[in-house]
C-alpha cells in the first residue's frame, strides 16, 4: 500500500503579517499556523490585536504586509467572489453577541441560511431546529431576543454561527459577561461542536483559566507580536515573564497596561512633547 505523504494544509496560516491602523502598528510580522480540526486559543490583553487578528482572517481587514492564507489561498489577494465563498466556510461568534434584536431566536438562526442558500423553507426549518438542538435551545425557537438570558443569547449566536456548517469557527470573547455556570456551558459547547462537527476553532479571549481546559493549542500575543505558543500544559509551565503575567492575571509585570500616549506630564501640560 502506498502511504500518503501529503501534509495537511493548515486551514489558517499567517505569513509575516503586519497590520497598522494609520501609524499604529497593531500586528507585527506575525507568522503562525493553526492546527486543523483543533481548538486554538489566542490569548492577549485588551487592545493587543485579537479582534484585529480575526478580522484579518475574515478578510474584513487587509494586512499592510504579508499574507493570510485560508485553506492554502491568500485571503487578502482573492477577488471578491472568492472571498465571499471563503467567508461562507467560516462561522463567527462576535465579541458582543450581535443578534438581531427584533427577530425571534428561530429567525436569527435562519438568517444566514435564507441569505446564503436557496434551500426550500421546510429544509431551512429542519436545519434551524438541528442547530438549536445542538446548543440545547430547540424549545426556545419562538422566543424574542429580549426574552433571553445572556448565556442563552450567546448560545443562539453560536447556533447561528454554525448554521452554514462552517469548517472554521471563530469565537471572539465568548465568555464575556457570563457567570461561571453559563461560561462552563459555552466552553463545553465549543468543545463538543469542535469534535462533533470536525471543524477548526479559534478562540480569542483573555479568559485564561476556562480556555486552558478546553483548547489544544495556545498562541500568546503581546504588543502585536506572538510571544509564545504551545499546548496548555506548556503555557502553564512557561518561564517567560510576559506569559506568566498574563496567565496569572497580574497587573504588575512586563506587559504594559496603557494605550500608547504622551507622557503624563506632557498630557497635563506640565512639559512639552519631544
Ligand X SMILES: Nc1ncnc2c1ncn2[C@@H]1O[C@H](COP(=O)(O)OP(=O)(O)OP(=O)(O)O)[C@@H](O)[C@H]1O
* Site residues for ligand X per CB under 6 A: 21, 26, 44, 46-52, 95, 206, 259
DSSP 8-state code for residue 64: S
- Map residues 15-54 to x or -, x wherever contact with Mg ion holds by CB under 5 A: -----------------------------------xx---
Q: Which does 49 bind (CB under 5 to 8 A by kind): ligand X, Mg ion, none?
A: ligand X
Which three three-digit cell numbers place residue 220? 500568546
Rounded to a whole number of angstroms, the minimum distance from the CB of residue 27 to Mg ion is 13
DSSP 8-state code for residue 85: H
Q: How far is CA 8 from the centre of its chain?
A: 22
Rounded to a whole number of angstroms, the minimum distance from the CB of residue 24 to ligand X is 7
Rounded to a whole number of angstroms, the minimum distance from the CB of residue 171 to Mg ion is 11
* C-beta nearest to Mg ion: residue: 51
- By beta-carbon proximity to ligand X, the closer residue of 80 and 259 is 259
Angle at 56 between CA 53 and CA 62, to 5 degrees: 135
What are the phi and psi torsion angles at 105 (to 5°)? Answer: -55, -45
Q: Which does 26 bind (CB under 5 to 8 A by kind): ligand X, Mg ion, none?
A: ligand X
β-strands 39-43, 200-205 pairing: parallel
Rounded to a whole number of angstroms, the minimum distance from the CB of residue 172 to Mg ion is 6
Angle at 25 between CA 249 and CA 52, to 5 degrees: 65
- By beta-carbon proximity to ligand X, the closer residue of 95 and 245 is 95
CB burial string 62-95: b at 16+ within 10 A, e below: ebeebebbbbeebbbeeeeeebeebbeebbbbbb
Element (DSSP H or E) covering residue 12: strand 12-21
Rounded to a whole number of angstroms, the minimum distance from the CB of residue 47 to ligand X is 4
Does the footprint of Mg ion cover residue 191 (CB under 5 A)? no
- By beta-carbon proximity to Mg ion, the closer residue of 50 and 131 is 50
Q: Which residues of this chain interact with Mg ion, rule CB under 5 A?
A: 50-51
Amino acid at each position: 500500500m502506498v502511504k500518503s505523504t501529503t501534509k495537511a494544509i493548515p486551514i489558517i496560516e499567517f505569513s509575516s503579517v503586519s497590520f497598522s491602523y494609520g501609524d499604529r502598528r497593531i500586528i507585527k510580522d506575525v507568522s503562525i499556523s493553526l492546527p486543523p480540526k483543533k481548538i486554538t486559543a489566542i490569548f492577549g490583553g485588551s487592545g493587543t490585536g485579537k479582534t484585529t487578528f480575526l478580522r484579518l482572517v475574515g478578510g474584513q481587514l487587509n494586512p499592510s504586509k504579508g499574507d493570510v492564507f485560508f485553506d492554502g489561498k491568500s485571503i487578502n489577494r482573492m477577488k471578491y467572489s472568492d472571498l465571499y465563498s471563503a467567508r461562507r466556510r467560516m462561522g463567527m461568534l462576535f465579541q458582543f453577541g450581535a443578534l438581531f434584536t427584533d427577530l425571534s431566536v428561530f429567525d436569527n438562526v435562519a438568517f444566514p441560511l435564507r441569505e446564503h442558500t436557496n434551500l426550500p423553507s421546510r429544509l431551512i426549518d429542519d436545519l434551524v431546529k438541528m442547530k438549536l438542538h445542538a446548543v440545547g435551545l430547540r424549545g426556545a425557537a419562538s422566543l424574542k431576543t429580549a426574552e433571553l438570558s445572556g448565556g442563552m443569547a450567546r448560545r443562539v449566536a453560536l447556533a447561528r454561527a454554525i448554521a452554514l456548517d462552517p469548517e472554521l469557527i471563530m469565537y471572539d470573547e465568548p465568555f464575556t459577561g457570563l457567570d461561571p455556570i453559563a461560561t462552563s456551558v459555552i466552553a463545553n459547547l465549543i468543545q463538543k461542536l469542535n469534535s462533533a462537527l470536525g471543524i477548526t476553532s479559534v478562540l480569542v479571549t483573555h479568559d485564561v483559566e476556562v480556555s486552558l481546559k478546553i483548547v489544544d493549542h495556545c498562541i500568546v500575543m503581546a504588543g502585536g507580536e506572538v510571544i509564545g505558543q504551545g499546548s496548555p500544559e506548556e503555557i502553564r509551565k512557561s518561564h517567560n515573564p510576559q506569559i506568566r503575567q498574563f496567565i496569572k492575571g497580574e497587573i504588575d509585570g512586563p506587559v504594559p497596561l496603557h494605550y500608547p500616549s504622551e507622557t503624563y506630564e506632557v498630557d497635563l501640560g506640565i512639559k512639552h512633547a519631544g
